[in-house]
Amino acid sequence: MWSQVLRVFNHQQQSRLLNHYFLGSWFVMLFLISGYLADINWSSGWAIAFSLAVYLSYAAIYLLPAYILTILVHRLLVKFQPSGLSRFQTFIVNSIAILLVVITNILIYTDGMVFTIFGFHLNGFVWNLVTTPGGIDSMGSGGASYISVALILTGILLTQTGLLLILNHGYWKRVTRKHHTPLKIYRYLLALFLVLTLSERAGYIMGDIYAYGPVYTTASAFPFYKQTKFRTLADWLEIDVKKRNELKVSVESGSLKYPLRPLIIEAPTKPLNIIWLVAESLRWDMLDKSIMPASWSFSKKAHRFTRQYSGGIGTRMGMFSMFYGLYGPYWNQFLAERRSPVLIDVLREQDYQLEMFTSAKFSYPEFDKTIFSHVPEKNLHQDTQGEPPERDRINIDRMISFMENRDKTKPFMTFMFFESTHARYYYPEKTKIRDVTLDEINYLTMSRESLAKDIDQIKNRYINASHYVDIQIGRLLKYLQDTKLIDNTIIIITGDHGEEFMEKGRWGHNSDFVEEQIRAPLVLWIPGSGSGVEEGISSHMDIVPTILPWLGVKNDPSDYSQGYNLLGQDKRPYAVVSDWDRIAYIGPEYKYSIPYKRGALYHEKVKDRNDIVISDDAFFFAKHQQDLLKIIAGMKTFRASNNRSESIE
């Protein structure tokens, strides 16, 4: 077989073969990116023409780096042997071509899979997921997924190798001997590529000038799409540009100033213990008497918050907002400076015994370098052996054992992160409360069609997992009640963020600021503080400002957080939720997200509380402009220096 790949060609024949190969790979790429067409708005001729131009041209653009590198290697070898390449040199050139195209195919296939399921492209979050210890494990991939990875990689490699072999055999061997026709064909193809590229550039420019939504939808659907801004030139040419109600922000990093003022602390004579329980992806409606009966029963004598919003749509910013009480975009700076939250600083100063448990890893996200960076490593307990339900059970055993054997002359703070509710949603068979479930979740072979068909069974797995987590919480609550520890212990039960099951078109989290992804339950027990149900907006950022006064901190919450005291008189007018690139206003009636990274390709619409886009957003901006500007200003509040700009057009 390889004898065909190793045929000795003169440099013109090899060039033609490479051109044929990359043309064939362009057709393969068209197939790989066809899934993005499902997210395109086909409402007008303009939208259709622009979308097809992007589709056809970007299939070539994705292959362009591989093509250029291959041609450069070929030209370099020809320079040293102009009469024709040797077998080994032919092998090198062809192998490089196949390898680079295979890598490109894999990247695009992976992006398509991520975009289909989660609604975002390969980005900093995905890179962090791959490169951070524990990241891949956190996805909960099963054996079928790993087998699928191997099969897909093998299939792509065989496809590309087979394509080159076909082009280098039989009929195509005769084609390469014809010197003029192939050259004419590729001249025409190059001209077509330039026309398509210029057309889609022009289409985007005009769409941006007239704020035409379908153009933005198409641009956002294709990975690595490069924007072309024309508004400044349009103003100079006196072209009437439609003004958009849109907030623009650019925030540069500066050193932290956290807290803003030194803490004033009068340590209580009888300090309260703290137990902080967080379940992965636990959304608010799981706190139901039929799904989580132990937590539900406990919530009736505690404070329960029915419209609790996480500070993020992923674990990183959800947990960050919980422990720091700050907006998610501060994460990177706190990680860089290894800065622990004020809460942990106060607990250590008051000589609390600290024991933290997780059934995931403290390294992903990097909580060992942020939230728990000042907690000794010996007090950070993670267990990655066995399935998540077993880890959750063992960690609750360990937590109870710690409380049994602690120094009873000192207060304690302990934390537990449950992993069973993370996809693939784990539970022991004997504890399930929903019978019809999907046995195996394979990320690599999922499509929108298969998700739509299986989503109810996937959600049943999630419900079973939530019920199992409640069993473990119930064990802990029973111990606290039996030992009377509940009488002097603050207890927090919540989720890091929510989880969507195609209610708004996606599965999981980290894709959009829809209710299903951003709302979590919150049950707060503070001895002597009463009980009740709060139906107004509350946030994970409010937890620390509620707890620290019970530890004797006299400062106003604004000195160390952007949250409110949940038990105070002031009520939160809106919540703030972040992801890797955006920060969102979540109000009583409307939502709006703002990109805060340069080059982010988002053109958001105002949505109502039910995540339906409203047609006229002028009223929203007129009424809420100051709130939006306040959020942006808040992104520099805890920085010693910052360059900032914001505007509403």
3-state secondary structure 319-345: HHHHHHCCCHHHHHHHHHHCCCCHHHH
**Domain boundaries along the sequence of the chain:** 2-236, 273-552
Q: Is 177 helix (H, G, I), strand (E, B) or coil?
A: coil
Mean pLDDT of 55-79: 90
Is pLDDT above 80 for 148?
no
Which pLDDT belongs to residue 575?
97
Q: Can you tell me the mean pLDDT for 314-334?
A: 95
Query: Could you report the per-residue pLDDT of 515-525, keeping only the tens digit for each?
Result: 999 999 999 99
Lowest mean pLDDT: which of 158-172, 266-280, 312-326, 463-477? 158-172
Length of the chain: 649
Position with higher pLDDT, 364 vs 135:
364
Question: Are the C-beta atoms of 503 and 458 separated by less than 8 Å?
Answer: no
pLDDT the model gives residue 2: 43
Average pLDDT, the chain: 85
- Model pLDDT for residues 418-429, shown as the tens digit of each residue: 999 998 899 999
Residue 208: pLDDT over 80? no
Note the pLDDT of residue 347. Answer: 98
Per-residue pLDDT, averaged over 59-83, amounts to 87
CA nearest neighbour of 331 among 375, 275, 370, 279: 370
pLDDT digits (tens, 9 = 90+) for 591-644: 998 887 655 555 567 899 999 988 767 778 778 888 988 998 898 899 876 444
Q: How many CA atoms lie within 13 A of 262 on its CB side?
A: 1
pLDDT of residue 570 exceeding 70: yes
| Three-class secondary structure assignment of 495-549 | ECCCCEECCCCCEECCCCCCHHHHECCEEEECCCCCCEEEEEEEEHHHHHHHHHH
pLDDT in the model for residue 453: 87
Helix, strand, or coil (residue 373): coil
| pLDDT at res. 334 | 94
pLDDT in tens, 398-439: 999 999 999 999 999 999 999 999 988 999 999 999 998 887
Give the pLDDT confidence score for residue 180 in this predicted structure: 47
> Does 648 score more than 60 pLDDT?
no
pLDDT of residue 185: 77
Q: What is the pLDDT of residues 223-259, one digit of tens each?
A: 888 877 665 555 555 555 555 555 555 555 568 999 9
DSSP assignment of 96-150 equals HHHHHHHHHHHHHHHHHHHHHHHS--S-HHHHHHHHSTTTTGGGT--HHHHHHHH
- Among 575, 570, 604, smallest CA distance to 589 is for 575
CATH code of the region 273-552: 3.40.720.10
pLDDT at site 241 = 53
**What are the structure tokens assigned to 537, written together?**
């907006």
What is the structure's pLDDT at 577? 97
Q: Can you name the residues that pair with 493 across neighbouring β-strands? A: 277, 523
Q: 75-105, pLDDT tens digit by residue?
A: 888 877 766 667 788 888 889 999 999 999 9
* Higher per-residue confidence, 83 vs 141: 83
8 Å CB contact between 355 and 381: yes
Distance of alpha carbon 276 from alpha carbon 638, whole angstroms = 25
Instruction: Check pLDDT > 50 for residue 544.
Output: yes
Instruction: Classify 644 as helix, strand or coil.
Output: strand
Which pLDDT band holds residue 7 (cuts at 50, 70, 90)?
very low
Q: Give the model confidence (pLDDT) of 336-391 as tens digits.
A: 999 999 999 999 999 999 999 999 999 988 999 999 999 999 999 998 788 999 99
Over residues 435-459, mean pLDDT = 80
